[in-house]
Amino acid sequence: YLSMDNAVPQKVHWFSIINSLIVVVFLSSLVAMILMRSVYGDISRYNNRADDVVPLTEEEREVEKEESGWKLVHGNVFTPPSMPLFFCVCVGTGQQLLVLALFTLVLSAFGFLSPANRGSFMLTALCVFCLCACGGGYRAARLHRAFRGESWQGPGLAMSFGFTSIAFGVFVVANVMLHVLKSSGAVPLATMASVIFFWVGVAAPLALIGSFFGFRNEPMKFPLESDTMPRPIPDQPWFLGTLPIVVLGGILPFGACFVEVFFILS
């Protein structure tokens, strides 16, 4: 993959690879260690309190009065969201895309997918994505049942035509623009028909099958019990809003991707 089938001199960008790995592993380990040390004991104590196994001592009552922040909403962590089906489809699709990324990355690293073979990467990615629809439907249906879902058809159909409809719509619009501009990169109608066949004939049935078996299986068990009445969350400062948190959370993956793209473009 790196040498383009010996078409160009091999030049492995070890600096960017090692830099990305060190940043991701170090920060992920740091965050995981902090969370495990601060959260594990509290989760055990909350479970004991919910089961009424260990009565609270006077010292524990004083600690409970002083709790603040996320500890006040520990009973609402696993409360079903306002749109549970949408959340379950996002989780199932995320699992599908994660398996796709890992599989194609491994094949590319071992040289099975080369840029010299035009279209091999996209064809492999499409086939893997369709085959992974079964696992995505299974995960979405099982999580949907944990949120007190009543049927497996909802997550199955949503997994079949949710994210894929948006992706296919963007693909069609881009392809129409390429046809209007008379570009050689435009996809012919026969290939479009093949993509639709893979989607409707392979991915959709697999998602429905996975959803059926996932809903029949035992629902996911959460480590904490959910409160029946959600605790109201007070207004937060502007830097803890949704947009700043999304921007700050994306800095790490953006930095890792920027180093790779900078090497490619340079």
Residues 42-51: tens digit of each pLDDT: 666 666 655 5
Instruction: Tell me phi and psi for residue 148, to 5 degrees.
Output: 65, 40
pLDDT for the residue numbered 115:
67
Go through 16-51 and write b for each residue having 16 or more CB atoms within 10 A of its CB, e for each that does not: beeebeeeeeeeeeeeeeeeeeeeeeeeebbeebee
Q: What is the pLDDT of residues 188-234, one digit of tens each?
A: 888 888 888 888 888 889 999 999 998 888 877 777 777 677 777 77
> Residue 8 has what pLDDT?
47
CA 18 to chain centre: 24
Global pTM value: 0.66
**Biggest distance spanned by C-alpha atoms of the chain:** 78
Exposure string (b/e) for 105-117, b if CB count within 10 Å is 16 or more?
Answer: eebbeeeebbeee
Q: How far apart are the first and last CA of the chain?
A: 18
C-alpha count within 13 angstroms, C-beta hemisphere, residue 111: 5
Q: Which amino acid is at 72?
A: L
Q: Which stretches of the chain drop beneath a pLDDT of 70?
A: 1-16, 38, 41-72, 74, 115-116, 118, 227, 264, 266
Q: What is the pLDDT of residue 1?
A: 44
Please identify which residue in the block is written with the tokens 């001199």: 9
Structure tokens at 10: 């091999």
Centre a 10 Å sphere on the Cβ of residue 88 and count the other Cβ atoms it contains.
Answer: 27
